[in-house]
Amino acid sequence: MADSSQYLTVGALTGYLKAKFDRDPYLAKVYLTGEISNLGNRKGRHLYFSLKDPDGKSVIRATMFSYASRLKFEPKEGMKVLAIGRVQVYEPSGSYSIILDQMTPDGIGDLFLALNQLKEKLSQEGLFAQEKKALPLLPKKIAVITSPTGAVVEDVAKTVERRLPDAQVILLPAVVQGEGAVPSLLKQLNRIDNLDFDTVIIGRGGGSIEDLWAFNDEALVRKVAALKTPVIASVGHETDNTLVDLVADRRAATPTAAAELATPVTRQNILDRLFELKTRLVVAGRQTVAQRQQVLDQIINRPIMQQPDRLYAAYQQEVDQLASRLGRGFSRQLEQKQYRFQQAQNSLVKEQQQLLRPYQEALALASTKLDLVSPLKILSAGYTIVKGPRNQVIKQKADLQVGDQVHLTFADGEVPAQITGE
């Protein structure tokens, strides 16, 4: 009879094989290439499928946990991939499989290498660490650089219309994949700073790494970083990351999210803020009026305001006293001036009399002398002055002829006369 101790249970054999697999360093990290098969429905967080050789002769089960955060592409049935993982034995079923850590589509390894090299170069230059520009709170013009046939611009326009209707969304159409994508995108980016835009959104829908490759172009990345206008990048899905996303001022997972970032303040926010400010202004105004009214009441109730004449009574009395003093002082000064003036006048009269006395005496003497030789004095003695026809004084008879009209001047007047004979 055979010795049963030499026989292993299935579990023991499976456990032994699992231990061998776990300890084998060549199976801890396996680089595998193959085609995806048995992909099935991807509703859960983990991805279960098979990898097979192109001829279909060899197949291995594959598992990737939390695949959505690991994959940058959408796996499809029959797609050829490059996978990195560890081989393990699943004891309950005695099967082996590969647990994947990384997986990329086959044929783009060079692209990833070039992307990583460029990313490292730009990172060392500090391009990704430069200060991000602030987005305007109330943009008036928003540029959208994307394909005119995609849903990006429509989603952005609808979101902006809902959030901030006064903002204008302007499409700058561009090719977003393929050989002509980079020149087309650069052409539109070169226009941005000269067109007075407040914000620019650049992006496209999701796709494979080849579809999004234009947004990893060095010239395009540098242009986005150099723009003075704030840039929001919305390239691909949330799990897609390009170099443009790293240099943009903001990164949005979807066009709708990009539009929301571009309009941080909505019309409703403005209305709510205005209402809040209005309410605060009204309350503050009422409080100010109440405070001023209280102060005014206190002032009105002061004794001096109840009897305002008390405020100036003392001053009025002082004014009366000063006016009286001023009047008395002025009267005294006037009396003094008048007394001095009278004295000066009397002195002037005396001096005038003294000065005029010699002249008055001389004048009296001259008048007396003149009176002695005055014609009137002679006429009063009985003499007469005869004036001829030409009003000349007749001194001798020869100056007259019979018939001349003459005037005889007496002491008390004149009379006409006529010469009638010799």
Would you give the DSSP letter of residue 131? P
Predicted local confidence at residue 391, as pLDDT: 81
Predicted local confidence at residue 240, as pLDDT: 66
Taking the mean position of all CA atoms in its chain, how far away is CA 113? 48
Predicted local confidence at residue 113, as pLDDT: 63
Starting at the edge strand found earlier in the chain, the sheet holding 141-146 runs 168-173, 141-146, 199-204, 231-235, 250-251
**DSSP per-residue letters across 399-417:** G--TT-EEEEEETTEEEEE
Which tokens hold the place of 135?
Answer: 């987005």
Question: With the CA atoms of 322, 325, 329 and 331 taken in that order, what torsion angle do they form, in degrees rounded to the nearest 10?
Answer: 110
In the block, tokens 């001053």 appear at 315
Would you give the DSSP letter of residue 393? B
**Helix orientation angle between 181-192 and 218-226, rounded to the nearest 10 degrees:** 10
Which tokens hold the place of 138?
Answer: 């109330």
Q: In Å, what is the CA distance from 251 to each residue of 99, 212, 273, 321, 403? A: 32, 15, 28, 88, 151
| CB contact burial 54-77 (16+ within 10 A = b; e otherwise) | eeeeeebbbbbeebeeebbbebee
Q: What does each of the 422 residues of the chain score in pLDDT, given as a tens digit?
A: 556 677 878 888 888 888 888 888 888 889 999 888 888 766 778 898 989 887 778 889 999 998 888 887 778 877 888 899 999 888 888 788 899 999 888 765 556 667 778 888 999 999 999 999 999 999 999 999 999 988 888 999 999 999 999 999 999 999 998 889 999 999 999 999 999 999 999 988 877 667 788 999 999 999 999 999 999 998 877 666 889 999 999 999 889 999 999 999 888 888 888 888 999 999 999 999 999 999 888 888 877 777 777 667 777 788 888 888 888 888 888 888 888 888 888 888 888 888 888 888 888 888 888 777 777 677 777 778 888 888 888 878 777 877 888 888 887 888 888 888 77
Q: State in Å, rounded, how far the first CA of the chain is from the last one.
A: 234
Which tokens hold the place of 8?
Answer: 């292993």
Which tokens hold the place of 337?
Answer: 């001036």
Handedness of CA 252, 254, 258, 260 (dihedral sign): negative
How deeply is 35 buried, as exposed, middle or buried, from its count of CB atoms within 10 A (0-12, 13-18, 19+)?
Answer: middle
Predicted local confidence at residue 301, as pLDDT: 83
Which tokens hold the place of 416?
Answer: 């006409």
Predicted local confidence at residue 220, as pLDDT: 94
Q: Where are the beta strands (DSSP E) in 42-167?
A: 47-52, 59-64, 80-90, 95-105, 141-146
Instruction: Report, in this order, helix, strand and coil percent for the chain, each rounded to 5.
Output: 45, 20, 35
CA distance 138 to 164: 8
Give which of 200, 239, 265, 277 is closest to 75, Cα–Cα: 239
What backbone torsions phi and psi does residue 351 show, to the nearest 5 degrees? -60, -35
Predicted local confidence at residue 191, as pLDDT: 93
Q: Which residues, listed in sequence order, are joined to residue 60 by a DSSP beta bridge?
A: 51
What backbone torsions phi and psi does residue 247 show, to the nearest 5 degrees? -95, -15
Which tokens hold the place of 129?
Answer: 């660490």
